Amino acid sequence: MIFKRRDRDAEDGEKFEPQATVAMSDDSAPISAPEMGSEVEAQPEPQMRDRSDKFSWGEGDIVIGTNVYDAVITEGAPQAPHEEDDAEEAPLLAPVADDLLDDDDEDDDEEEAEDEDDEVEASGEAEVEMAGGKPVRPLPRVLAVANQKGGVGKTTTTINLGAGLAELGYRVLVIDLDPQGNATTGLGIDARNFELSMYDVLMRDADLADVIEPTSTKNLFVAPATIDLAGVEIELVPAFSREQKLKRAVDQIIEDFDFIMIDCPPSLGLITINGLAAATEVLVPIQCEYYALEGLGQLLRNVKLVASNLNPALEVTTIVLTMYDGRTKLAADVASEVRNHFPNEVCSAVIPRTVRLSEAPSFGQPITSFDPSSRGARAYRNLAREVSNGATKRTR
């Protein structure tokens, strides 16, 4: 609305009414504003665009929301739908995409899971089949716990799975290859209480047997790491046979243990390559969230390269779903997609997201000792039974 300026000669009691006009342009006439009480024609509501279009994706692709992840070594690409597939529902997770695109309603991301079995599975109370169609692998076994993505539960899985296997009577060695040394402190080992570490094994050819330290858990041992390990990536560059340093050290003590678990750093550098070259199996923890599969394709390619050039026996045998939150539909969808594309590798035991699992490392104990009756402890015990698959313990 436009108001007139008061004239200098106007009387004091004079009032000025506003002009109810709106100027459209210099050449157009003013348009009168609607009077009070007049009816205004309702405008039609805008139509929302349907985001639930479905496509048919190539075999081997992993679909999470609107993203396609590489489930195998080669990258997948969308393909034209076939007439015979029209009646089948494609595995696109349209509701997940809507939840991620809707920033105004956070409650959609916290809706309750409809299937109560998800809660049972997440709590670790589901029974684990000992046979499960998987072969019983002979001991000793060397597993590299690797995933280039950080924060997915590699160290937590290494510590607690090792403790679960130790409870079953197996002798377990945890090799800490992460310069952060979280597996070392998580098992109650103080860096000031030992002289040799994995840095000395890789750079000074120290015997691995001289580095191993016992833990408070029976049958569980650790080869500790310190911050010095951060320099190995550069110092190993000119070294001869640099990729086989750890393998030669492990071969000297492998008969003393049933399981050797290598906690790899969240990268694909020389330290991780050493871990993969020394192992015969790869255990991949996958977080049950949106970016869970982002680096899996690159990790699988690196495993294939190591297998073809350094370690022909290396293979991905175990995938563990971690940080599962049964309250969210997204976690259930991610778990379902991973199981569909890796049916033989994904373990039945699922690790839930619990506070007790986060608290245990601050006390220097695995969850099986810190809170033996917690959901996390039960889940890792079930995982240990599934990974060992009833393998016969060796006599010494």
- Helix (H, G, I), strand (E, B), or coil: what is residue 89? coil
E strand or H helix that includes residue 247: helix 245-251
- pLDDT at residue 299, as a whole number: 83
**Residues 211 and 260 sit within 8 Å (Cβ to Cβ):** no
Whole-number pLDDT of residue 45: 52
Looking at residue 41, its pLDDT comes to: 52
Q: Where are the alpha helices (DSSP H) in 192-318?
A: 198-203, 208-211, 232-235, 245-251, 270-278, 296-309
Helix (H) or strand (E) run with residue 238 in it = none
327: left (phi over 0), alpha (psi -120 to 50) or beta: alpha
Q: Are 127 and 81 in contact (CB under 8 A)?
A: no
Give me Rg for the CA atoms of the chain: 30
Take residue 312 and report the two structure tokens written for it. Answer: 């022909």
pLDDT in tens, the chain (396 residues): 444 444 444 444 454 454 444 444 445 444 444 444 445 455 555 454 444 443 334 444 444 444 444 444 434 444 444 444 443 443 433 333 343 334 444 344 444 433 444 444 444 444 444 445 577 888 999 999 999 888 889 999 999 999 999 999 999 999 999 999 999 999 999 877 788 999 999 999 899 999 999 999 999 999 999 998 988 888 988 888 888 999 999 999 999 999 999 999 988 889 999 999 999 999 999 988 877 777 777 788 889 999 999 999 999 999 999 999 888 888 888 888 888 888 889 999 999 999 999 999 999 999 999 999 999 999 999 999 999 988 888 766
3-state secondary structure of 237: coil
Task: List the domains of the chain with CATH numbers.
Answer: 61-110 (no CATH), 118-388 (3.40.50.300)
**Whole-angstrom distance, CA of residue 98 vs CA of residue 8:** 62
